[in-house]
Amino acid sequence: MGPGMAIETSLILFKPDAVEKKLVGPVLARFQGAGFTIRGIKMMQLGDEILREHYAHIAHLPFFPEIVAFMSRTPVVALALSGENAVAAVRDLLGPTDSKAAAPGTIRGDLGEDKMVNVCHASDSTESAAAELKRFFRDGELFDL
């Protein structure tokens, strides 16, 4: 491990667009190809309570009901990935939130459509990763490999 490198775990949610377009496998292969390790993975249907908690920072905005409708349209796949500086590295691999601004070669640049239909959610800091991992994975569902 190089200087300044820390092993971190990030939460990724494969959004309904990824599930519907059968992109979970190809995107997961890109994460693994980049050297990340799976610590936990499961499919789950998100309800209002967990979505309100997960998106609490934007729950007051007028487009929030649209996000809830989208994120509950199909089950999502929750993924815990670990690796060196995983939080920032996963976000670099994904590209910016707005898929239209994402460069070709990034996951969102190649596969996303816009700011909401953008393949995956990923933790934006180590603090949010810790909270999000607890929200989506129970004790005993994350493994050290």
Q: Report the Cα–Cα distance between both ends of the chain, in Å, rounded.
A: 16
Catalytic residue among 54, 57, 60, 121: 121
- CB count within 10 Å of CB 85 equals 17
121 catalytically annotated: yes
Distance CA 54, CA 131 (A): 9
Distance CA 125, CA 91 (A): 10
Which of 65, 123, 119, 129 has the alpha carbon at shortest distance from 91?
123
Active site residues: 121
